[in-house]
Amino acid sequence: MTRPSSVLFDLDGTLIDTAPDFVRCLNVIRKRYGLRALPEHQIREVVSEGARAMILLGFDLSPDDEDYFDRHSEFLDLYEDEVAVDTRLFPGMDAVLDTLEDNGIPWGIVTNKPRRFSVPLLHALHLHDRCDALVCPDDVEHRKPHPESLQLACHLMGVSTEGGIYVGDHIRDIEAGRRAGMKTIAARYGYIQHPGVIAEWNADIIIDSARELEALLTAS
């Protein structure tokens, strides 16, 4: 892999392991309604699908159901209050960021996670002053897999999308990266229900850990 002009990361399931706080918050709400705790692995698998998927899993409610919006609001309000209790960078990811910074390669985050949660999360993990660009759905008209958010992030960093890399753990990340003209890396360690399907995403590279990404960067 040649030296990239920039590296962009998806947030949940790629740069940061946010699942533990989602697991805890969803089970806290379930307990309020007399429901048993769900196993961590079951919730982790749907984190990348967003709060709607977690409410469906946790309460068997969809937006058409009467109680959906009350549970949805209750869950997200609790998560906002406790957004970084157990959340951490994925193992080896801090070394990846150090490598990028040591080599003068700008890095940023493009996420479908609203700013309401993303900004306090980055502050809590002391990443806000390291990240060169943060693009959330609040900032664009079209969410991923549309390439608009990636194009905006590169614009904010003063680089072209060509020569850049986007790393993500969902097919929409890989599609967005391809449509933006960037190289794509699929993170198989992320929140993926069926890891075997990653080969069908047509990413340029598939990695199983952040340490593999660091090895790629140091070899470029």
Query: In this model, does residue 99 exceed pLDDT 90?
Result: yes
Q: What's the whole-number mean pLDDT along residues 102-127?
A: 97
Is residue 108 a contact partner of residue 131, using CB atoms and an 8 Å limit? yes
Three-class SS of residue 12? strand
Catalytic residue among 12, 132, 169, 173: 12
- CA 35-36-40 angle, to 5 degrees, is 125
The pTM for the full model equals 0.94
Phi, psi of 150 (to 5 degrees): -70, -40
Tell me the percentage of the chain whose pLDDT exceeds 90. 93
Least confident stretch, 169-178, 186-195, 198-207:
186-195
Q: What tens digit of pLDDT does each residue of 1-20 get?
A: 789 999 999 999 999 999 99
CA distance 100 to 110: 17
Number of other CB atoms surrounding residue 103 within 10 Å: 12
Q: Please give the structure tokens belonging to residue 12.
A: 């949940």
Catalytic residue among 10, 17, 21, 132: 10
Q: What tens digit of pLDDT does each residue of 32-66 get?
A: 999 999 999 999 989 988 999 999 999 999 999 99
Q: Which residues face 7 on adjacent strands?
A: 107, 165
Maximal C-alpha separation, the chain: 54
CA distance 97 to 134: 15
Catalytic residue status for 10: yes
Number of other CB atoms surrounding residue 202 within 10 Å: 12
DSSP per-residue letters across 59-109: H---TTSTTHHHHHHHHHHHHHHTTTSS-EEPTTHHHHHHHHHHTT--EEE
Is residue 110 a contact partner of residue 32, using CB atoms and an 8 Å limit? no
Query: Which contiguous run of DSSP H or E holds residue 40?
Result: helix 40-44
Three-class SS of residue 140? coil
